[in-house]
Amino acid sequence: MARHLITSALPYINGIKHLGNMVGSMLPADVYSRYLRQRGHDVLYICATDEHGTPAELAAKEQGIPVDEFCAQAHDQQKAIYDGFQLAFDYFGRSSSPQNRDITQEIARELKANGFIEERAIRQVYSNADGRFLPDRYIIGTCPHCGYDKARGDQCENCTRVLDPTDLIEPRSAISGSSDLEIRETKHLFLLQSALAGEVEAWVDERADSWPVLASSIARKWLTEGLHDRAITRDLDWGVPVPADTWPDLAAEGKVFYVWFDAPIEYIGATKEWADKDPENRDWRSWWWESEADVRYTQFMGKDNVPFHSVMFPATLLGTRAPWKKVDVIKAFNWLNYYGGKFSTSQQRGVFTHDALEILPADYWRYFMMANAPESDDASFTWEHFTATVNKDLADTLGNFVNRVLSFSRKRFGDDVPAGGEPGEAEAKLGQEIARLLAEYEEQMEAIQFRKAAAALRALWSAGNSYLEEKAPWLEIKTNPEGAALTLRTAMNLIHLYAVVSEPFIPASAKAMRSAFTLPDDTAVWVSPEEAHALTAVPAGTPFAVPPVLFAKITDDDLAAYKERFGGAAE
């Protein structure tokens, strides 16, 4: 089996992330990683906080603490939230690590040696009000392509076009709001993307047909518009420094690499962090160096990150002429909006990850987000939709099935799985349906189609309810106790199967379902369609317990309180 390298777009260090950030990167990467591990694959899921750039400097300044201290605190805060969502990273690193610094500088030296980095004198925006050169992200203006009036100097969030600050109409400082800007000369390093354009296009052509349309269309659009040489250094105090042994003058001026140059390299850096912290001294290079044939690399990200990962980062690696592993599949997501508008911290609109965990357990959010993942179009979070999904799918379809099967069996047959009865036509029909749906679930997970996979999982849960309604053990027990025992034992085997195959989506609930049965020899990591057909993993006589309610329904009062706290439809 191929080894699977999984990365998700690095969450920026500045601020707690909202649900849209979670559903477009880290959560689907976790669901996919969990599934692959269950299927017996060797998986490495790497992520990290993206810690360089002006926003981190400014946030630290506002708090009156050194930027490295701010980043350390923010990293721990974010990691605690991701632990709360049960994101099973193999390693969650930091782009400010020494490992990332060293590898970034190594890659820059290789690019220079191969003629793909050159030093150029440029004219750059200087803010008189702020007394500093302004990095691209801190110049705001109107996008010349789509007219969006809050476009940044590096990229328009609205149309995703990559920009230069001088492209903006009516530019102003994002720090002070001042329009008192002037152009001054300074020197920077440029990545010569134009010289690599043919290689990048050929590389994309080899792979993009296997990517989702969203990712491949963005990559090809960028290539069609032409690759331009891009400045990869900035005038900042915080970042990976330009190596003095290669560019002494720029190093003396305190130049650092552009955050979008070093951040993707942190996927490699974090892998080395992971290896360096392990007492067995894992071979991190086996995942990234000369691993094209035996490692399958999948990246997860929102659509705004696609240009950098599909063109700029591959260009960087191609230009080194070294055998770095490059991505095989880019799984891109559209936006998750809030009642049709954007999440906003300042306007107190939308659900942010720490608040989500405060009000409901992680599995409620994990299932909802993946069952409604914005894969083909932008999606909109509403409390009404969230409530309906939780109450119908989780509370009624799955949770109620588990509770009524176990409660009724304990009441009528005691604390062990009941014996009696031989499987008949209903059980054979159920086994065939479960095997068919499980095969559909596997197919959609292999294709990285999360909404379709969630639909197949939901159908698996529904099949158990249909069987229970057909057999009606609460009536059956009056005239055929052995038949009722068979029905309940079959349903208990469904609960065990649900626990195993639902784990990627709802790991805590899956653990609760599985631990309801005392099965010391239960080592199943997956259930194949052939095994599912038999439904015999939980034999008669197995002790069991009734777990607490898996999913509490969201009431009308809860719904009203959530809308009042987080904001409802935009005015």
How many other C-beta atoms are found inside a 10 Å radius of the C-beta of residue 497? 22
Q: How is residue 18 written in tokens?
A: 């909202």
Alpha helices of 414-480 — where are they, by DSSP H? 425-446, 450-471, 473-479
Question: Residue 47 contacts by C-beta under 8 Å, 6 or more apart in sequence?
Answer: 7, 8, 10, 11, 26, 29, 87, 89, 91, 92, 93, 270
Residue 47, annotated ligand binder?
no
Residue 159, annotated ligand binder?
yes
Q: Strand 139-142 and strand 233-234: pairing? A: unpaired
What residue type is 67 in one-letter code? V
> What are the strands of the beta sheet with 169-173, ordered from one edge?
151-152, 139-142, 169-173
Nearest 5°: the CA angle 312, 274, 27 is: 65
C-alpha–C-alpha distance, residues 273 and 497, integer Å: 37
Q: How is residue 429 written in tokens?
A: 């029909």
What own/partner pairs with CB < 8 Å and gap ≥ 24 does 422-430 have? 422/486, 423/486, 423/490, 426/467, 426/470, 426/471, 427/486, 427/490, 427/535, 430/463, 430/467, 430/490, 430/535
What residue type is 232 in one-letter code? I
The burial of 131, by beta-carbon neighbours within 10 Å (0-12 exposed, 13-18 middle, 19 or more buried), is given as: exposed
- Our measurement of the distance from residue 252's CA atom to the centroid of its chain's CA atoms, rounded to an integer in Å, reads 39
C-alpha–C-alpha distance, residues 103 and 98, integer Å: 9
Nearest 5°: the CA angle 116, 322, 309 is: 70
Residue 345, annotated ligand binder?
yes
Helix axes 425-446, 450-471, angle to 10 degrees: 170
Nearest 5°: the CA angle 422, 425, 429 is: 120
> Which residue numbers belong to the known binding site for Zn(2+)?
143, 146, 156, 159
Q: Which residues make up each annotated binding site?
A: 143, 146, 156, 159, 345
Annotated binding site for ATP: 345
